[in-house]
Structure 1
Amino acid sequence: MTVTTFKWTIERYHRAIEAGIFDDQPIELLRGDLIVMPPEREPHAYYNTEAADYLRTLLGERAKIRDAKPITLPNNSEPSPDIAIVKPLGEIYLQHHPYPEDIFFLIEFSNSTLSKDLGEKKAIYAEAGIAEYWVVNLKSLQLQVFRDLKHGEYTTELTLTTGNITPLAFPDVFVQVHRLIGFRQI
């Protein structure tokens, strides 16, 4: 017996959303597969909110900070990263979610989804051409930064617990690592 899985296209996924099929379940589309998003626990929600507010202060009008909103990628994916730092294109986003060329960098806060965020999501973001991807590891309280794309893969990985990080798109901005990962154990 051969098992065949149904692969969703972005267009069909959007039609299902408009029809209200997924109203009771938070999901995202990754490589044509529907992925149920686990509920956020308090630390995840806290750090996500604090980091988004901090980045809004640092970047001002230079970028739009989108919390847990979809982005549309060419590899049949429409994930909802915890924070997407995107071009401030205004009403364009009434027509479509940010595309890879609209995205400066992405951040995921990760505890129960750490293997997915460091595996499948990292690969999807790299293949789509997202220049920079950060994972706040809430288990070990560290920031993992992926950048320097080459042939659809990140070639540089930084692991930080202190100091500052400068996003590639904003070389004059210094993000304090402790403002993203906090000081206490979770």
Structure 2
Amino acid sequence: MKTLAKWSVNDYHCMIQAGILRDRHVELLAGEIFEMSPETPIHYSTAKRGAKYLENLLTGQADIRFNGPITLSNSEPEPDIAIVRLPESNYSDRHPAPDDIFFIIEVAHTSLKKDLELKTSIYADANIPEYWILNLSTKEIIVFRYPQNGHYTSVETIAEGTITPLAFPEVQVSVKQLLG
């Protein structure tokens, strides 16, 4: 019987510093190193447009990170968009950690299964308060909220209207604007 070796975040950082993962588009998820799928044009443009839109909505309230890593206990995923605490200078020598994160957005086109299963579990386990998946196939946003014991206790699918992020009750995010 084969046993899979799990990597720690520290192991992963050492591999990066040693150049072992140079020229590899990878992320650490639940102790395993995964090759990231190439981004389709619609995936990239939706994520970039969404980050710009949220940056305008949340100016002075949050830092909007686009395609950047976050550091969790046994994972270092690279969500499409991470909405994190200010000031941005907090992240000069480290990536945002769970206590820094207001919510995360993943854009799903070819990655829906991984985003719905593996990443939902990882983000809930890290107690990320809110996680949105922009499902490009159905033009819907799946909103996960209130993590408890490694699972989100609220899941809602929204196809139109607005979403109010938990951390910003005065902000209305347009579903249409986010989905493009």
TM-score after normalising by structure 1: 0.94
- 1:145 alignment partner in structure 2: 143
1:35-84 CA distance string (max 9 Å, x none): 0001101000110011000000000011000011110111x100000000
Count of equivalent residues: 180
Q: Which amino acid aligns with 2:161?
A: G
- 2:41 alignment partner in structure 1: 42
Q: Name segments (4+ residues, structure 1) moved above 4 Å.
A: none
SS in 2 for 1:60: coil
SS in 2 for 1:120: helix
- 2:92 alignment partner in structure 1: 94
Q: Given the superposition, is the C-alpha separation of residues 123 and 62 from structure 1 closer, same or farther in structure 2, using an over 3 Å criterion?
A: same
Q: 2: CA distance between counterparts of 1:180 and 1:117? A: 17
Q: How does 1:27-106 map to 2 (within 5 A)?
A: 27-74=26-73, 76-106=74-104
Superposition deviation, residue 151 in structure 1: 2.4
* Contact 2:62–2:84 (Cα < 8 Å) also in 1: yes
Q: 2: CA distance between counterparts of 1:177 and 1:61? A: 22
- The answer as to 2:121 corresponding to 1:136 is no
SS in 2 for 1:39: coil
Give the unaligned 5+ runs of structure 1: none
* Contact 2:127–2:148 (Cα < 8 Å) also in 1: no
SS in 1 for 2:83: strand
Give the unaligned 5+ runs of structure 2: none
Q: Which amino acid aligns with 1:157?
A: V
TM-score after normalising by structure 2: 0.97
Q: 2: CA distance between counterparts of 1:79 and 1:145? A: 19
- 2:158 alignment partner in structure 1: 160
Q: 2: CA distance between counterparts of 1:27 and 1:38? A: 9
Q: 1: CA distance between counterparts of 2:58 and 2:28? A: 29
SS in 1 for 2:68: coil
Q: 1: CA distance between counterparts of 2:7 and 2:149? A: 26
* Contact 2:43–2:107 (Cα < 8 Å) also in 1: yes
Match of 1:124 among 117, 122, 125: 122
Q: Which amino acid aligns with 1:116?
A: K
- 1:5 alignment partner in structure 2: 4
Q: 1: CA distance between counterparts of 2:140 and 2:28? A: 27
Superposition deviation, residue 180 in structure 1: 1.2
